Chain A
Amino acid sequence: MITKKIKILIGKPGLDGHDRGAKVTALALRDAGMEVIYTGLHQTVEQIVRAAVQEAVDVVGLSIMSGAHLPICQKLLELMKVEGIQEIPVVVGGVIPKQDIPKLSELGVAGVFPGGTSFDQIVDGINEVAK
């Protein structure tokens, strides 16, 4: 049986320019056999959703270091619904305080990988949500 490669979009939403985490994760996921599309910096939520649609990705990943993860994820999930791609799981990484993880889950985020999560855990987590 041939397993289809997971196609994941890694987006850097908003104005935050700290992209080491996004880039390092992108390289790790590529080495783990996924097809990775990295949007680059300063993406609007609209641009990320459009890219997700155009590239027909299996997972949408966001990297957020600035602390604005709750408003950004809320907006993203709402827009994905409008665009009819709400079934694509969304995962988030970055500077995410522990107390915000349940809040993100409530919004509909499928996986949270705060800074320090190992590559293996991220790969396993994405494989899980992409099923």
Chain B
Amino acid sequence: MGVAKYIKDEKDSIKEVIYQSGIKVKPVYTPKDLEDVGFEYDNDLGDPGEYPFTRNLHPQGYRSRAWTTRQYTGFGTPQETNERFKLMISHGQTGLNVAFDLPTQMGYDSDDPKALGEVGRVGMAIDSLRDFEIAFDGIPLDHIGSGLTINAVASIMLAMYQAAAEKFGYPKEKISATPQNDILKEMIGRGAWIFPVEQAVRLVGDSIEYSVKELPRCNPVSICGYHIRESGANPAQEIACAFEIAKAYIENVQSRGLAVEDFVGRFSFNLNVFGNLWEQIAKFRAARKLWAKMLKEEYGVQEKKKLFLRGLFGGGGSGLTKEQPENNIMRGAFYALGAALSGAQTTALCSFDEAYTIPTPRAALLSLRTLEIIMDEVGLRDTVDPLAGSYFIETLTKQMETKIQDEMKQIQDVGGMVHAVASGFIQRKVAQQAYEYESGIQKGVYIKVGVNKYALGSEAQTDVELHEYDEQGVDKQIAGLNELRRARDNREVKRLLKELDKAARDGRNVMPLLVDCCRAYATVGEMSGVFRDVFGEWHEPSIF
């Protein structure tokens, strides 16, 4: 996925290069190319830290501060995850990105029949505040920010994070959580959705509105182009979808009477790095510029800091292969390089065993070391946006800008992102592209080293150490849950759940009640159950 199409002659000379976004690349670029695209330093780039921020959000880039690293981490019980958090932090990781298991992501308790086989498998099991207290024990929550990869029940997890932090003595004004909280991208390309589109967007709006007022250091949403690209979108579409999703959330919060200027500055993004290196770099530079322009021109945002495209640009797993997994270590290094050349503030890197399992400590540490070597050894902190002025990169950046805008227009033409998702328009488009791309790989149209070129055949041994799923952890988790239900004040929980139900039905912001419910040790399943009752579940549109 993500590589360019190369048309070669019989001598293996490249005749044509076509990027996934559709841009054709010439053999040579000269000053004339910059003239042809109308390139102008002040309009198109600006200095780093100056509008439109094409070069970087900050005047000194990595000279001031290396990137924040957040490897996606979590499995088994909260206890085990707490240990892995501490391990990664001890090895130099500067932020957390929490992985939750599927029952938690889907709003089920660990003993729910639907949770069978999934408790603690792809992330840690969280049933209540007590689990958060274990998971974050000993983590300095005023220093370390936590990405929470949670979407359908992000409102619950954000409330729970606040409750946990307060239990540890951290005031809510000091903590920095970034719940992913991007339900529209779930519906396009990640699948951990529960409620119908409108109601789900309402919950996103509730959490943004609450966060802006009560949790000033939190980033209430991390809009994900990442998964949309993983599902088959090309890089221009990735950004276009992310921006159109952002608009849907902006409009929801705006409709509550808040000024865009007052909340959009806390939006963040989660974007993907894999495939062709130059295409990624041009994409991010164009994206920074377009986001700032859009906020300024369409939403009247003035303050500089609020125009920033803040985000995690991270290595994408779909670029990795099952075949010859150690090749993925090299791929990871190049993706990390791409992220650095793109000026990523925060980053993460897919681990080499991605196609097999969740990362072992060895694989996770290798990813982290890759990111550290890029920053500390090979010169990516030396100067800001080192590729600026390149005839190729500046031409490509301008072309990518146009592509992104074209893709955005297509979504606008079908009535905007909410409609595009509810009708299945985006999903069908992305699935069709994924199919075409996969066909292309199988036919050799796109080269994938180790897969269709330099392949070793199915007899080749691939000894990948697998992270083992711990069945005993499940029993432990369920035992803890049962004990919790016995020990807590059940009348209080019942009362609060009833209040939550009422607030959900009345259209009031559910966050304050969620915080109360969490404090009383209501479970994820119970709180989600209330929302299931009130909102119902989404029926996804057909793919054909």
Contacts and interface: CB of A to CB of B under 8 A. Distances in A.
Interface residues of B, number: 42
B114 to A, nearest CB: 7
A79 to B, nearest CB: 13
B118 interface: yes
Contacts of A15: 102-103, 105-106, 108, 114-115, 118, 192
Contact of B191 (A18, A68, A95): A18
A23 B191 contact: no
B428 to A, nearest CB: 9
B540 A23 contact: no
A95 B540 contact: no
A19 B191 contact: yes
Contacts of A38: 542-544
Contact of B438 (A24, A42, A71, A95): A24
Task: Report the contact-size class of chain A (Cβ under 8 Å from the partner).
Answer: 20 to 34
Per DSSP, chain B at the interface is loop
Per DSSP, chain A at the interface is loop
Given A41-B540, A67-B121, A95-B356, A24 B322 contact: no
Contacts of A16: 102, 118, 122, 191
Contacts, number: 91
B451 interface: yes
Nearest to A67: B121
Interface string B425-460: 000000110110011001000000001000000000
A19 B352 CA distance: 22
B431 A115 contact: no
A127 interface: no
A105 B191 CA distance: 29
Contacts of B174: none
Given A17-B191, A44-B114, A116 B543 contact: no
Contact of A30 (B103, B439, B542, B544): B544
Contacts of B190: 17-18
Given A24-B438, A68-B118, A17 B192 contact: yes
B8 to A, nearest CB: 23
Q: Which 6 A-B pairs have the closest CB atoms?
A: A17-B191, A15-B102, A68-B117, A71-B117, A23-B431, A27-B435
10 contacts: A15-B118, A16-B191, A24-B431, A26-B543, A27-B435, A41-B191, A67-B122, A67-B357, A71-B117, A119-B439
Given A41-B191, A97-B466, 12 more contacts: A14-B114, A16-B118, A16-B122, A23-B434, A23-B435, A24-B438, A28-B439, A36-B544, A42-B106, A67-B122, A97-B357, A116-B321
